[in-house]
Amino acid sequence: MRGKRILMIPGPIEFTDEVLGEMGKATLSHVDQRFIEEFGQALEKMRKVWLAPGAQPFIVAGSGTLAMELAIANLVEPGDKALVVNAGFFSDRMADVLKTHGAEVDIAPSALGEVPGVDAVRTMLKADKYKLMCITQVDTSTGIRSQVKELAAVARSEGVLSVVDGVCAVAGEELRQDEWSVDVALTASQKAVGVPPGLALLVAGPRALGAFNARKTPVRSYYCDWGKWLPVMEAYEARKPAYFGTPAVNLVRALNVSLGQILEEGMELRFKRHELGARAMRAGLKAMGMGFVPAREDLCASTLTAPWYPEGIDASVLSRIAAEGVVLAGGLHPEIKARYFRIGHMGASGATEILATLGAIERGFAASGYRFGAGEAVAAAQAVLIKG
Ligand code: PMP
């Protein structure tokens, strides 16, 4: 379509027509029984998407950073020790949020392109008395995926709460909050959950709620206090009106539609589709001679890919790719910003968008003078997609 570009950045992403249609509907009162029903349904669906049957979901207006603060403000008391498993840019942000709320923060370090090993994290947890550990499931700056399952198991066995920043992961990467003993998993609407930006989404397990209830000091944030939001979430789920802050009515309705579409696809198929799409994307880029920021294949995320620019190509290629109809993102990690780019492939975007993206990358690279066999990237990705 003339002028139409597909948005293949790591959030916001392409949204389905049904989700966008919900956004355009007349706004209901936040205490209209029809809205109360939809809010209640959305909360119930979150438990299924997070695979956390016994946990408490929260839907609050705000971005992913608010979701981070919604976790930390309620779990941390001044002087508590927290360990941040460093995966890149957004782990640094989590450390800042922790310090803002009075935590003493240690970092499990990692080299660029790597994540800290599970054994190294276990050793750190055993060496000190930590209250919680934070893991970024997918670092959006590097396309690296952490070993959430293994890390959360170590945290649980050491009696430490685990908080997973799943902003670039939930509803795309495999996450089984209950089975993996993750205490809090959070995200934002604009990524694999598939709703325009504006909702902070968080699911807190029983141990996290227990730690909140056992606080000796008040929460040092008015807006983030679970004590303010819990009665609201409980009321909506019981299909009763409640108020603390006016909910983002149209976004919540769109969330209910999107979560319904996610569950219709099914979590297992959705995890597999994202993994396959990422493999196809990497095969295409490799065929053009590109490598990736993550040091190893098993560290590569399913929701985004971060390729190094090949020799002779720089960020100016991104506007050529955009002119070919696909919007990609530049580098974000401060140390390597100018040397790589990022492609988001999550949510409703699937095989069609991956092939269209590789086609636009081929044409953009060709316009930048890069030499390769026309169609090589598309063919390599198509082979992966067909094989499954
Ligand atoms: N954590 C991760 C892993 C992210 O990717 C992002 C956003 N890209 C955030 C946190 C912050 O989310 P937001 O920009 O919605 O505040």
Distance 165 CA to ligand 1 centre (A): 8
Q: Write down the pLDDT at residue 163.
A: 98
Query: What is the pLDDT at residue 381?
Result: 98
Which residue type sits at 94? Answer: M
Distance 64 CA to ligand 1 centre (A): 5
Q: Give me ligand 1 centre to Cα 166, in Å.
A: 9
Report percent pLDDT > 90 for the chain. 98
Examine the pLDDT at 1 and tell me if it is beyond 90: no
Question: What residues are paired with 341 via a beta bridge?
Answer: 330
- Through-space distance between the first and last CA atoms of the chain, rounded to whole angstroms: 29
Q: Phi and psi (nearest 5°) for 340?
A: -150, 170
Residue ID of nearest Cα to ligand 1 atom 8: 140
Q: Give pLDDT tens digits for 217-260.
A: 999 999 999 999 999 999 999 999 999 999 999 999 999 999 99
According to the model, what pLDDT value does residue 4 have? 82
Token duo for residue 173: 């990467």
Q: Which atom of ligand 1 is nearest to the CA of 10?
A: 8
Q: Per-residue pLDDT tens for 278-323? A: 999 999 999 999 999 999 999 999 999 999 999 999 999 999 999 9
DSSP tag of 245: S
Beta strand pairing status for 341-344 and 304-305? Answer: antiparallel
pLDDT band per the 50, 70, 90 thresholds, residue 25: very high
* 190 CA to centre of ligand 1 in angstroms: 9
What spacing in Å lies between the alpha carbon of 382 and ligand 1's midpoint?
A: 31
Calculate the CA 255 to chain-centre distance: 15
- By the 8 A CB rule, do 322 and 339 touch? no
**Structure-token pair, residue 222:** 């008015």
Q: Is 204 in the pocket of ligand 1 (CB under 6 A)?
A: no
> From residue 354, how far is each of 1, 104, 139, 256, 310 by CA, in Å?
17, 43, 21, 26, 20
The answer to whether residue 166 scores a pLDDT higher than 90 is yes
Domains and CATH numbers, the chain: 6-11+267-387 (3.90.1150.10), 17-265 (3.40.640.10)
Q: Is the CB of 141 under 6 A from ligand 1?
A: no
337 CA → ligand 1 middle, Å: 17
- Binding site membership of 147 for ligand 1 (Cβ less than 6 Å): no
Residue 200, pLDDT score: 98
Which amino acid is located at 174 in the chain? E
Reported as a single tens digit per residue, the pLDDT across 107-162 is 999 999 999 999 999 999 999 999 999 999 999 999 999 999 999 999 999 999 99
Rounded Cα distance between 103 and 114, Å, is 25
Instruction: State yes or no: pLDDT of 180 exceeds 80.
Output: yes
Is the pLDDT assigned to residue 168 strictly greater than 80?
Answer: yes
Ligand 1 within 6 A of CB of 70: no
pLDDT, position 115: 95
Per-residue pLDDT at 3 exceeds 90: no
Decide whether any atom of ligand 1 lies within 6 Å of the 354 Cβ: no
Question: Does residue 261 line the site of ligand 1, with CB under 6 A?
Answer: no
CA distance 328 to 342: 6
Determine contact, residues 122/154, Cβ cutoff 8 Å.
yes
The reported pTM is 0.97
Judged against a pLDDT cut of 90, whether residue 2 lies above it is answered with no
Nearest ligand 1 atom to alpha carbon 136: 3
Q: Using a 6 Å cutoff on CB, does residue 188 contact ligand 1? A: yes
